[in-house]
Amino acid sequence: GLRLIGAGGKVQKGTFLTVEAVEGDLVRLESGQCFAGQELLKHTRLCSAITYASVQGLTLKGRVWLYDVESPHFSIKHLYMGCSRATNSELLSVL
């Protein structure tokens, strides 16, 4: 049930995936694709920690949490881009 996001290559960037089963060194996704552990790491990322740069152009279903907004590196551009990923203002949390 682990949620992943495609990072390009054999898994399209921005595609949300779920791990269906782990059998030895093979990981099977609900889409039917199977990967060896190291190969899966090359083509996917964890959904729970998506960076501002990697989420550009995506619409995120469910709650969107924006973190590190008090960082000196955080700008109004990050805020606008992060907020615009949510489908509803009630699903947006800024911390």
d(CA 34, CA 86): 30
- Whether the pLDDT of residue 81 is over 90: the answer is yes
Tens of pLDDT, residues 17-31: 999 999 999 999 999
Residue with the larger pLDDT of the pair 49 and 16:
16
Amino acid letter, 43? H
Q: What is the mean pLDDT of residues 2-24?
A: 93
Separation between Cα atoms, residue 83 and residue 86, nearest integer Å: 6
The DSSP secondary-structure symbol of 56 reads T
pTM value is 0.73
* List of residues 6+ apart from 16 with CB closer than 8 A: 3, 4, 5, 6, 47, 61
What confidence score (pLDDT) does residue 9 get? Answer: 92
Mean pLDDT of the chain: 92
